[in-house]
Amino acid sequence: MQLLSFALIFTSAFIHASWNTLVRHLKGNSSALILAHFFGAILHLPFVFIGGNFSKIFSIFQYSSLIFLVPSVLSHISYLRSLPLAYAVGDVGLIYPLARGTAIIVASTIAHFYLGPRLSSSQVVGIAVSVIGIVLLAYDASRSSRHKQEEELSRSKISNIVYKELSTVENNIELTAFGDMEDDDSRFYDDEIEDQNRSLNPSSSSSSSSTSSSSNEDPYAKKLRISIMLAVAVGLCTASYSIFDSQGVDTVPPIVWSFWLNIFSSSILLVYLFKYNHEELTDVFTDHLKSVLVLSPSVVGAYLIILYVFSMPDVNVGLVVCLREVSVIIGAVLGVLVLNESYSVLKFAAISTILTGIIMIKIST
C-alpha cells in the first residue's frame, strides 16, 4: 500500500471521528444524520461536473453496478438507523471502539479469504493487536460509565437521606409547637381511609413484590447489554457496506458511486421520517440546522476519500478498514476533550496498543 493511501486513510479517520463526536453531542439525533447525508449528496454535483464524470453518472444503473449498489444502500440505511440509536443509549467511548472493532474482524476475514490480495502473517498480527487495543478501550469506557452511574446513585441516596432528615425535623417542630392534636376518632378515621385504599387497590401488595424483583435487575447491566448489541450491529453494517462499496467503485468513478449511494439511502429514510416522525425532522430544521450543515461535507467527504482508496490497485479492503480505526484513537481523545469523558491509564494503554498494531501493519506493507 502506497504512502498516499495511508495519508488519505488517516485524513478520513480524523474527519470520521470528528463528525461521530458531533452526532454524539446531538444525543443521537437520527434525523440530523440523515439530512446531513442528503445535503452531502447534493454537494457532490458540482464536483461531478468539474471532474468530467457527468457522462458516467447514469452508468451506475447497469447490472454490474446494481448488484453491489442495492445491498450497499440497504447496509447504509441500517447503519444510519442504528448508529444514532447506539449513541442515544451508550457513551461514544464504548460504542465507537466496539463498532469499529467488529468491522475490522468481519471485513478483514471476508477480504482475506474471498477478495484479496491476501494479508501477510505480520499484517494479520497487526490487525489482531489493534483489535485487542479496541476491546481494551471499550472495556475502559464501560468501567468508567459504571463508576459514573454509581456516583450518581450514591449522590441520589444521600439526597434522599437528607430530605428524610429534614422532613423529620420539620415534623418534630410542628408537634412541639402545636402538640399532638389527634384524638382517637381522627386516628380511627385515618385507619378507615387506609383500609379503603387497600381494598380499592388489592393488587398493590402483590405488585410490590414483582416490582421489587424487577427493580433488582441492574439497570447498568441492561444498558450495557443494549449498547454492545447496537455497537456490534453498527460494526456489521460498516463491514457490509465496505465490502460492497470496494467492489462497486471498480464499475463507476468513486464520486458517482458516492452520489447515488447517499441519495438513495438518505431519500428512503427521509420518506420514512416524513411519514412517521416528521416532528423530529421539523425540530432539526429549527434547532440543529447549523450542525447539519457542518455534518454534511464531513460525513460524505470522509467516506468519499475511502472510496478513492478502494479504487486504487492492489488494495486490501480489510487492511483499509483496519487502518481507518486510527479514528478510534481520535474519537477517544475527542471524547475526553469535548464530551468530558474520563481518561485513565487503561485508556492510554489501549490507545498505545492500537497504535502498535497500526505501526506493525505499516512496517509490513
216 or 278, which is more confident: 278
Question: 106-119 in b/e burial notation, b at 16+ Cβ within 10 A?
Answer: bbbebbbeebeeeb
Question: 52-77 in b/e burial notation, b at 16+ Cβ within 10 A?
Answer: ebeeebeebeeeebeebbebbbbbbb
The average pLDDT across 289-296 equals 85
Grade residue 166 by pLDDT with cuts at 50, 70 and 90: low
Q: Determine the Cα–Cα distance for residues 76 and 259; give it in Å rounded to an integer.
A: 13
Phi, psi of 275 (to 5 degrees): -85, -40
Locus of grid cell 440509536: 85
Grade residue 213 by pLDDT with cuts at 50, 70 and 90: very low
**Which pLDDT does position 174 carry in this prediction?**
53
Positive or negative: CA dihedral 154, 156, 162, 164:
negative
Could you give the angle at which helices 345-364 and 326-337 cross, rounded to 10 degrees? Answer: 150
Q: Give the gyration radius of the chain's Cα atoms.
A: 27
Could you give the angle at which helices 3-25 and 30-50 cross, rounded to 10 degrees? Answer: 140
Ramachandran region of residue 27, left (φ > 0), alpha (ψ -120 to 50) or beta? left
Grade residue 208 by pLDDT with cuts at 50, 70 and 90: very low
From residue 140, alpha-carbon distances to 20, 136, 338, 344 in Å are 19, 6, 18, 8
Does residue 188 surpass a pLDDT of 90? no
Locus of grid cell 408537634: 175
pLDDT in tens, 253-262: 999 999 999 9
